[in-house]
Each structure stands twice: as structure tokens, then as C-alpha cells.
Amino acid sequence: RYEGPKGGPGMREMLAITAALKGVGRGSDCALITDGRFSGGTWGFCIGHVAPEATDGGPIAFAHDGDIVRIDVPTKTLDLVVDEKVLAERRKGWKPNPARYTSGVLAKYAKLVQGAETGAITNIIE
């Protein structure tokens, strides 16, 4: 998480993580869910481009080890199966990670880019 268009910034490639899972023998029995992206070299059960991304306070920001994530392929949905009270407690005081870049083109991109669900575009509507 925190690898989406804003958090990365730029949706960094997750191949190193999938390769590491495969390297330790977990490539076929461990799902990798991220707001980052995958290339054609990815192997295993991987779900990317999750939106809203963690930096925007999407549910992926509040997932903890041991939580159940319901994956419904026909409806193309992911659900974090956590009691609403628990989720509300996790949201209290939450802040996105500090920006990785504070100047330059990547800082500008992170401020202007929209989420993956709208194509990660930087159109500015005035």
C-alpha cells in the first residue's frame, strides 16, 4: 500500500515483491493486494490498482495483519471484512504518509494526479 498514483507517486511496479513471494515459496498460496501496479512479469495471485488508494484514505490504508479481505471476482470488488466500530477506531487520527517528494516534477505530479479509478490523470479543471 501507499504505492498508488499519489502515494508512489506514479504507481510503482510491484514485480520485486511478487518475485520475493515466489522466491520463498509463497507465490501460489499468498494473495498480494496493492494500490500499486503490476507488469506482464508478475506471477501469482495479484490484485493491483486498488482504489481509492491508501494515501487518499481508502480501506487499504486500514487493513491490519489477520484481517479478512473478501475478493469477489465476478463483481470486481474487494471488501475489508472488519467491524465498523473497529474500522472507525483505526480511522481516528489517521494521516497519510508524508510526501516522498516536496519539490520537482514528482511532487507536482503527486499533488495533481487523480486516483487509479479515473485513470491516474492530471487534468486540471478550472
> Which residues carry out catalysis?
39
Task: Kindly provide the b/e burial profile for residues 96-122, where b requires at least 16 CB atoms within 10 angstroms of the residue's own CB.
Answer: eeeeeeeeeeeeebbeebebbeeebee
Instruction: Tell me the β-bridge partners of 79.
Output: 70
Integer Rg of the chain from CA: 15
Rounded distance between C-alpha atoms, residue 60 and residue 54, angstroms: 6
